[in-house]
Amino acid sequence: MEYTQLGRTGLSVSRLCLGTMNFGPVSDREESYAVMDHALEQGINFFDSANVYGWGENRGLTETIVGEWFAQGGRRRERTVIATKLYADMGDWPNEGRLSALNIRRACDASLARLGTDYIDLYQMHHVDRRTPWDEIWEAMDVLRQQGKILYVGSSNFAGWHLAQGQEAARRRGVLGLVSEQSIYNLVERTVELEVIPAAQSYGIGLIPWSPLHGGLLGGILRKLAEGTAHRGNSGRAAESLEQHRPAIEAWEAFCAARGEDPADVALAWLLHQPAVTAPIVGPRGIAQLDGAVRAMGITLDADAMARLDEIFPGPGGEAPEAYAW
C-alpha cells in the first residue's frame, strides 16, 4: 500500500479510502467486519463514514457497525484513521441537522458514542450550510478540537468559493481550517477540475473523490448487463447516465479490454494519477471488490493512455476561467 499526507497536514493516509456506506444497508455485520479486517491487512488505514449512513429509520447504523468492529480490539481503532460526516437531518425536530453550533456539538457526541471512540480523526461537513455563519462553525469546531473530540476538519460537496470562504474565515481566526474536500470526481464527472481542484491545491486541501465509478457506470456496465451480472445497471446514477454516455462507455470498455484490465480498476487508476487526489473512496460490497481496488494501484497509465481517456471522456477543458474563456 502507498501512503500520502492528507492535504497540508502531517497525517499519513492510504492512497485508497475505504467507504463504509454499504455497511448495514447492503453488507451485514459479519461481512462488514470481514471487509474492514481485510482492508487493514491490505494496508488501508483510511476509513470514511457519515452519521446518516444506514439511511431512513436506520440512520447511524453504519457508524454503529464500525464501532462494534473497533470494540473487537486488536488495535483496530489505533490503526484506523476514521473520518465521518455531519449535516443531514438525524431526526424530525429542529436543530437535528445542518451546521449550527448546537448540532455540531450534539452530532459529534452522537457519532463518538456510535463509533465507540473518544475522538474522530477527520470530522467533515457533508454539505455547505448557507444559513450558518463561518465564525459560528469554526468556533464550534475549535471547541471540539480543544476538547480532544476531533483532530482535523474537512468538507464535502463544497464549491471552490465555499473552500475559499471557509479558509479565509479560518485564517482570520488563526486556525488550521479545512484539510480535505470530498467531491464527486471520476472520468464521467470532471466538473471539479474547473474551480474546486484549483482552490483545494491553492489552500493545501486534500481531495477525496467519491463515486469513482460513477455509480457503477465505469465498472464494466455493458459487459455486466450482457452477462446478467449488473447490480446497479437499472437504477441510480448508472441508469441515468448510461444512454447519454453509451458511445463513450463502449469506447471505454474497449480501451480497458485491450489493456486486459477490469474497467473498475482502470477508473481508480486514472484518479490515482491525478496530482490533486489524496485517496479515492472505494465502497466494496465484499472482499473481492476490495481486492480489485487494491490492484488498481499497480496500473500505470502513460501519457498516451491518459490522452486517449481525455478523448473518450473530455473534461471541462482545464481550470477556470481558461476552460470557458481566454
pLDDT in tens, 27-61: 999 999 999 999 999 999 999 999 999 999 999 99
Give the Cβ contact number of residue 200 at 10 Å. Answer: 26
Q: What residue has cell string 465505469?
A: 218
* Residue 292 structural domain: 3-312
In a domain, 153, yes or no: yes
Strand ranges of the sheet holding 120-125, from the earlier edge strand across to the other edge? 206-210, 178-184, 150-156, 120-125, 81-86, 46-48, 17-19, 281-282
In a domain, 325, yes or no: no
Whole-structure pTM value: 0.95
In a domain, 321, yes or no: no
Which three cell numbers mark 161? Answer: 468559493
How far is it, in rounded angstroms, from Cα 121 to Cα 119?
6
Number of folded domains that form the chain? 1
pLDDT at site 228: 87
Amino acid identity for residue 227 in this structure: E
Give the Cβ contact number of residue 111 at 10 Å. Answer: 25
The catalytically annotated residue of 3, 33, 53, 87 is 53
In a domain, 319, yes or no: no
Amino acid identity for residue 91 in this structure: G
Which residues does 257 contact at the CB level (< 8 Å), separation at least 6? none
Task: Enumerate residue ranges in the chain where pLDDT < 70.
Answer: 232-239
Which residues does 252 contact at the CB level (< 8 Å), separation at least 6? 187, 218, 263, 312, 313
Q: By the 8 A CB rule, do 134 and 101 touch? A: no
Which three cell numbers mark 217? Answer: 457506470
Active site includes 324?
no
pLDDT at site 31: 97
pLDDT at site 230: 77
In a domain, 322, yes or no: no
How far is it, in rounded angstroms, from Cα 288 to Cα 158?
32
Amino acid identity for residue 246 in this structure: R
In a domain, 182, yes or no: yes
Q: What CATH number does residue 10 fall under?
A: 3.20.20.100
In a domain, 35, yes or no: yes
pLDDT digits (tens, 9 = 90+) for 111-154: 999 999 999 999 999 999 999 999 999 999 999 999 999 999 99
In a domain, 135, yes or no: yes
